[in-house]
Amino acid sequence: MHIPRRVSRTATAPRTGRARTAAAALASAVAVVAVTGCAGFEYREDICSADEYPDLSVGGTGSICVSSKKAPPAGFVKYPQGKVPQQVDDKWDLYWDTHTLDEDGKVVDVPATN
């Protein structure tokens, strides 16, 4: 006569508690990334390279990047201290779209163009 061996239910059943928790956490993370589109990882472009600094054109809104070892070329000056744009569309980059420096180094509004 054959007597079947008794097998514990927990030995053959999958560990659904841990598996479900891990699957739920993974699904939540995927949903957050899909919904936000990685909005927390916004890319900001620098105005100049690491070994350069920006110079503002006198009387205009144009700017150039100059090597840190060189002086501004004719017609350009360094931005006033504390008002140097660092990244595209940052506070100072937008400010200097409507302001400039005159020949005396005074901040003035840019004349409106038609």
pLDDT tens string, the chain, 114 residues long: the values are: 667 666 555 555 555 677 777 777 777 777 666 666 655 667 889 999 999 999 999 999 999 999 999 999 999 999 999 999 999 999 999 999 999 999 999 999 987 765
**Rounded alpha-carbon distances, angstroms, from residue 44 to 83, 87, 105:** 18, 6, 29
Mean pLDDT of the chain: 83
10 Å Cβ neighbour count for 90? 15
pLDDT at 77 (0 to 100): 95
Q: What is the pTM of this model?
A: 0.60
Q: What is the dihedral of CA 92, 77, 111, 61, to 10 degrees?
A: -50
Per DSSP, which regions of the chain are E strands?
A: 52-57, 63-67, 76-78, 99-101, 107-109
- pLDDT (tens digit per residue) in 8-38: 555 555 556 777 777 777 777 776 666 666 5
